[in-house]
Amino acid sequence: MGNLQFGFYLSPFGQCFIVFTNEKVFALLFLDNIKDAEKHIRENLKSLEISENQAAADEFCQKIFFDENAHIEASVSGTEFQRQVWRELLKIPAGEMRTYQQIANAIGKSSAVRAVANAIGANPLAYIIPCHRVIRTDGRIGGYRWGIDVKKRILMEEFLNRK
């Protein structure tokens, strides 16, 4: 896996915490406070060696948030169902939205809307895997692991910049 590194970055949508190697991003989380990052490390990376590299974190995040042509290699851990949902999210173009039901239908599990919502909520790559592009069937924003205000800011930015 390589030497895991981490850093913090003040994105246009709030403070985030990134875990990466020289080649791949493993987690990008919007944070309310540093305790959230410490909790993530304890719960998900406890057996791995991890060190802070703020300069590399800044470089990765600049690409993620400001270079729409950047290719970001990512690695995520999850169940096969979660990965199936996350792959479907990657198909949603910037500036567009889908409902939880549409995602469930697209993966062939039309009755698994709640499970789809749970998989979306477990996404470890905020912004990179665009879980913010999923809304409720009634058109309301719905929940967001990182807070409704963050979701609204991201969606607004995408709508304003869509081509």
Residue type, 75: S
Q: In the annotation, is 131 catalytic?
A: yes
Query: Are 92 and 128 a contacting pair, CB within 8 Å?
Result: no
Residues 34 and 60: their CA atoms lie apart, in Å, by 19
Name the H helices within 8-147: 34-44, 54-66, 80-89, 100-106, 113-121
* Structure tokens belonging to residue 66: 């400001």
Residue 88 burial class via C-beta count within 10 angstroms: exposed 0-12, middle 13-18, buried 19 and up: buried
Catalytic site residue from 25, 116, 131, 134: 131
Active site amino acids: 131
